[in-house]
Structure 1
């Protein structure tokens, strides 16, 4: 499967985004280059025709479960009609028996609008150039308190620390780590301690958009399964990688970008 096609599903049709009916998926896709749209259309045609692509493969791709092959193929055909033909609205996947994350630590990646960026010094620079201030933010939900993360500012600043952190917590020998998020609108110190298969995050909040520092402190530690912690942050990273690939941005230094692609399996 083409990595761009795989990233399209993970960024737009996964467990978080697949149930949204905002009406903007088709115009967003069609705003990309003709070659990218053709790649996505061809990818849909291939998996619809491929009898070996079934519910197990789709769940690995999106974390969404389908009970049988026929239901999955019907959904994919309806989604194809919506994106590339005269389908009236985006098709919805079936209801899930359970969600893969808790409200202790959840990230909503959003779908921020892009502006042109052809070349950048590195991934951080590309993110700052691609996403203008004022576009849709990512939302970090910490013990049910929503914290906005601006893509073009907050996310760009934390990238160089986030990728090494996710690499570290995935190691079997990981025990603890400290990280300082240095944006003035997302400023916090996190002490992360492993507890069996989970992570306990003790945070000192300095400043966040919305001035929720006191409330966040009152809500206490966040405890989240290690795999969920990585997968939640991966939503944001996958969104960025998908946009960089779709826009064919050339990076002078692609070290962090390649490490992020390895983290998310792109």
Structure 2
């Protein structure tokens, strides 16, 4: 995250308001989209994480919808989109409005080298919105702050974009889509040789491409993804450590615990107890 992505927390006011609908979907083969011109103050963010399609803006510009691309649609006319039914789009979508403040309006087409940041934050916004709809928490301001961070990151990336920054090959797009599969189901996509085979490349070629796009090796990416997901399960569910190990594909709890302590400098048990203590403290403070 760059300096612009921290700007919302510095100013104290996000300047944007999240609106329904919000979600993350893999589109049906027959999917198509036409924006509603009656929503005069409704802006949309689409983060493409799988598939291929095309967006036509109100001005007639044709934008390729490919993994890694983010689109920011304005309420200035009709936008139309369609996709390849044989390779349907995977989209995280956020609707929002601007309030008083200095929140930026990024270009319609955006690319950021920090795709993982955008993906993680938009996923969190979707989770917070779902929890709020279920009546579990009042997350409106927190969601707006995260949305503002996404807008700041996209705007900053647009200003710094260089011609060679955008992945232009099919291999690059396939690697981005594979990375999202790892994020979704790390236990099922944790073999680097199999990941390389999925894009018909040698392990070394795949690793070089992955490192160029994400700055880390695919093995490190898989490891950190599994451990971060394990930490989330430890802190937010009552699942046992053994159950978490099984879900995430760890061979033994001992191996998992060593990996966990090496990564987080604490044991799984200590992390869970700390999270439970913090939850209890927060509940007592709100009584």
What TM-score comes out, normalization by structure 2 length?
0.29
What TM-score comes out, normalization by structure 1 length?
0.30
User: Larger relative contact order (C-alpha < 8 A, sep ≥ 6)?
Assistant: 1
Larger Rg: 2
Which structure dedicates a bigger proportion of its chain to helix?
2
